[in-house]
A = this chain, B = another copy of it.
């Protein structure tokens, strides 16, 4: 693994465990097993490390779905649930995005990028005749980012993410009737088996 990647992974682990305030650059150096010189060649401060972790999520969350439109949107929410459990960089970036007030001026870039991703799926859903006339794609993308953000926070505190797939099935149960046409709803599949995932 390249040094920069090793540092980034170590930073994610430390931010995930301790939050921004509880993390320190020396903890991250120890975890990554790099010298001060190695660290400062790549990153000058804890803030810079947090920013790198926060922006890394785009690289890690690629479109996972063959489906597009409504199915792609639904799949993306369940894919990211698994990423939260299995991918420490993604998990840390979400924690930093939620607790972002901690490290400086408010910046909703990460949220807006999520809105954009969901918006693309919603526009495809519209083209495929899956959305009801009264749905505003951009408005609902914003609603969904908010709802998803809190659902994962609640799930993390309640169960360390183990119940997140169940909570997402519930969330979709109360959004789909408001957004999807009958043919859209008939087509979309929620995971039939939402076995609790190991934390």
Contact = CB atoms under 8 A, between A and B. Distances in A.
Interface of A: 18-22, 95, 97-102, 106-108, 111, 135, 139-140, 142-143, 145-158, 160, 167, 170-171, 173-179
B150 A170 contact: no
B147 A151 contact: yes
Contact of A178 (B95, B98, B176): B176
A155 B108 CA distance: 9
Which 3 pairs across A and B sit closest by C-beta, in order of nearness?
Answer: A150-B150, A21-B21, A149-B150
A158 B108 contact: yes
Contacts of A171: 143, 146-147
Nearest to A95: B101
A55 B189 CA distance: 40
Contact of A143 (B100, B140, B167): B167
Contact of A19 (B99, B147, B154, B179): B99
Given A19-B99, A98-B98, A178-B177, A146 B151 contact: yes
12 contacts: A19-B102, A21-B102, A140-B174, A143-B167, A143-B170, A143-B173, A146-B147, A146-B154, A147-B150, A147-B171, A174-B179, A177-B177
Nearest to A135: B174
Given A143-B151, A150-B150, 9 more contacts: A21-B21, A21-B102, A95-B101, A101-B156, A139-B173, A143-B147, A145-B154, A150-B151, A178-B178
Contacts of A149: 149-151, 153-154
